[in-house]
Structure 1
Amino acid sequence: MAEHPAYPVGLRLTGRRVVVLGGGQVAQRRLPALIAAGADVLLVSPGATPSVEAMADAGEIAWRRRPYAEGDLADAWYALIATSDPEANARASAEAEAHRVWCVRSDDAEAATAWTPATGTSEGVTVAVLTTSARGRDPRHTAAIRDAVVEGLRDGTLVAPHHRTRTTGVALVGGGPGDPDLITVRGRRLLAEADVVIADRLGPRDLLAELPPHVEVIDAAKIPYGRFMAQEAINNALIEHAKQGKTVVRLKGGDPYVFGRGMEELQALAEAGIPCTVVPGISSSISVPGAAGIPVTHRGVAHEFTVVSGHVAPDDERSLVDWPSLAKLTGTLVVLMGVDKIGKIAETLIAHGKPADTPVALVQEGTTAAQRRVDATLATVAEAVRTEDVKPPAVIVIGEVVTVGPSAQA
């Protein structure tokens, strides 16, 4: 008799008993989804991996610390059999069949009455991929198909039109330090769904080339000491386009709330009654040093790191930074937007006790193809900026961590 294909279905397991036999790696992979589905999970196993044990300790699952015994599947709606004992697996499978409990076998797919598909999620949609028969099962191929579909949905390369009205509004998206691959999955998906994108110069510009032709891109580039779009104008543009019923993405470099004026934009939108979503981004304060081989913390070297803005000099009355206190810290100091002020910053730190030979690294255009690193000390950094022609954007790292990584220069 020709084998029939499996019938795909979504199980609603909230409050329903699910029995898992075996506390090893299979259970560790499958339990989180069962817990997320709201299932009443009973684990039967003499032992478990530390991760599975933590789920039991947290009360997410019940755990009977013994081998499988006849009757363990009583009142179960679904069972996952994943012990290392083939004989116990066979007995449990027979019990499941007798009680009409759908049963997954990790050791023998042909003996199972249910299969676990390769699954992934994207914005409320679950993608589940099954092979058509037990004999032709190829888990790696199935997972690869799943990954391709989910990735396409997440990054916008696989676009499915919405047939229900979308909720219009604004998304403040942190684009990360510059490399387009470092934007978050959610940020990239929202960008793919946008009608209007208001983009900063420091955002991942390469992503703009992927936008469909109908998307309006507004340049909000803030070139240092050159033309700029005033913050009030940016706020007004966000509000005006959202009020026209458009989906607007404010694409910012790094994270919206790390020297990104994200809260100013959120407040303006709230006052105008515009719904707003904030998508965090990878801050250049940690990602750019990392890309240059510099850990901002390192055991035995730095137990803390401090991030400050250097856009105003220490002697400027507008400065809110307590530079004398920073000079006394033993950890890492990361300065953003401080290339042209680094000379005065270094002088101030030295004047308040920071050793003049403290290592300094300047990482220009971090995470992009144009990235370069210039090393110096507090005593020499101002001259290094001039002789090496360091230009913004550049992240400045001050501290002993500069000499830790394999990329450190003599």
Structure 2
Amino acid sequence: MDLDVAGRCVLLVGDGDVLAPQALSLLSAGAELTVAAPQVPASIEDLADRGRLTWTTAQWTVSDVRAADLVVASDADEALRSCCAAERVWLSTPRTGSVRRPRTTRGSVTLVGGGPGDPGLLTVAGLDALRAADVVVCDRLAPLAALDGLDAEVVDVAKVPRGRSTSQEAINALLVERARAGQHVVRLKGGDGYVFGRAGEEAIACAEAGIDVRVVPGLSSAVAGPALAGVPLTHRGVSQGFSVVSGHVPPGHPASTVDYGALARSGTTIVLLMAVATLPAILDALEGGGLAPGTPAATIADAGLPSQRVVRSTVRDLARVVAEAGLGAPAITVVGDVVAVDPLRAGAQPDEVPWPAVTTELDGVERAG
């Protein structure tokens, strides 16, 4: 989206999976977005539930147009054009693609890690794969704004926590089916697909079906999220390593394979993914395993997106601070003395940062200390 929409009220009208790339592009540009569509992809519904946009389930109305500074509609009908003209509201009708490429006789699948959400953090190889795709199968944490205007069909297979979800088996089958039809399929997901992204399962399913598979690694949110929040996972004299674990199940759960006692005594920075709901139990287990309750800790929500938020506290108090701040998934938690090392604060030393610190906004005026 090339228009300057920062701080502007934008009404997005349309249907289909093209809505998600358009919405993310507008949000990334700073728009205050309302989507008017009876049905939307799961990614749009998730953004609405997280308060990043407003979704009205009815068709657009004159009041919707009147309240907007700009209306965006790829397929604007005459009624919408006339309404925008009557209300003196700008109407943008972006192209969603150009001439379709010829289908190849042999399809393939490319598994692309898209990074933590900012399309600027997508690799060059990943962007090249998207530009060559016939169909893009994506989830809610992928950099969907990168799809805006590309010549490819977009299939949303978002897995929304406690919401709309597509099974992994169905995703595997979709990749194989489309590739067997001669299409070049790109599976686009957030972060790196081989770091808790289940790309390995997708690669196996395609290989077993005789489908050519290529992997384009992505920037894992486990590393990128802390960096964007000013937290180095290693720092000379502070930490010599880091451990990344999934917190999708709590300590003691039959499905948990993490030894939190050993983790607490490891001396490494601890990075927790998918651990919003289980954070209190995990921090209790780390403290019970010997980690000092005053150890610095931080949670980064929506890493790499305009809505990114960061809270900093201690192992003893972080779960409470996160709950009070209303942070939700997706979020990354970092535990260790490196949280007190903020290279973005010129001249700061680890022992100069007070704990517990206040809730902070990455782009706001409040910062720790």
TM (norm. structure 2) is 0.65
Structure 1 contact 403–409 (Cα < 8 Å) conserved: no
Q: Aligned residue for 1:266? A: 203
Structure 2 contact 107–178 (Cα < 8 Å) conserved: no
Q: 1:9-38: per-residue Cα shift (whole Å, max 9, x none)?
A: xxxxxxxxxxxxxxxxxxxxxxxxxxxxxx
Matching of residue 196 in structure 1 with residue 135 in structure 2: yes
Q: Mark the CA change 1:246 to 1:382 in structure 2 (over 3 Å): closer, same or farther.
A: same
Q: What pairs up with 1:211-230 in 2 under 5 angstroms?
A: 211-212=150-151, 215-230=152-167
Q: 1:362-383: per-residue Cα shift (whole Å, max 9, x none)?
A: 1111111111110111111111
Q: What pairs up with 1:139-158 in 2 under 5 angstroms?
A: none
Q: Which runs of 5+ in 1 are unaligned?
A: 1-158
Quick check: which has more Rg, 1 or 2? 1
Distance 1:253 1:166 in 2: 29
Q: CA RMSD in A?
A: 2.1
TM (norm. structure 1) is 0.59
Q: What pairs up with 1:2-401 in 2 under 5 angstroms?
A: 168-212=107-151, 215-401=152-338
Distance 1:202 1:165 in 2: 29
- SS at structure 1 position matched to 2:312: strand
Q: Mark the CA change 1:297 to 1:392 in structure 2 (over 3 Å): closer, same or farther.
A: same
Paired amino acid for 2:330: P
Identity of aligned residues (%): 47
Q: Whose relative contact order is higher, 1 or 2, with alpha carbons under 8 Å and at least 6 apart?
A: 2
Distance 2:103 2:247 in 1: 47
TM-superposed deviation, 1:197: 0.7
TM-superposed deviation, 1:162: 7.5
Structure 2 contact 106–180 (Cα < 8 Å) conserved: no
Q: Aligned residue for 1:8? A: none
Distance 1:237 1:296 in 2: 37
Q: Mark the CA change 1:192 to 1:227 in structure 2 (over 3 Å): closer, same or farther.
A: same
Q: Mark the CA change 1:197 to 1:162 in structure 2 (over 3 Å): closer, same or farther.
A: closer
- SS at structure 2 position matched to 1:194: coil
Q: 1:124-166: per-residue Cα shift (whole Å, max 9, x none)?
A: xxxxxxxxxxxxxxxxxxxxxxxxxxxxxxxxxxx99989958
TM-superposed deviation, 1:285: 0.6
Q: Aligned residue for 1:113? A: none
Distance 1:231 1:250 in 2: 12
Matching of residue 409 in structure 1 with residue 368 in structure 2: yes
Count residues with an aligned counterpart. 252
TM-superposed deviation, 1:252: 0.8
Q: 1:15-68: per-residue Cα shift (whole Å, max 9, x none)?
A: xxxxxxxxxxxxxxxxxxxxxxxxxxxxxxxxxxxxxxxxxxxxxxxxxxxxxx
Q: Mark the CA change 1:165 to 1:242 in structure 2 (over 3 Å): closer, same or farther.
A: closer
Q: 1:44-94: per-residue Cα shift (whole Å, max 9, x none)?
A: xxxxxxxxxxxxxxxxxxxxxxxxxxxxxxxxxxxxxxxxxxxxxxxxxxx
- SS at structure 2 position matched to 1:391: coil
TM-superposed deviation, 1:210: 2.7
Paired amino acid for 2:150: L
Structure 2 contact 107–181 (Cα < 8 Å) conserved: no
- SS at structure 2 position matched to 1:340: coil
Structure 1 contact 374–384 (Cα < 8 Å) conserved: yes
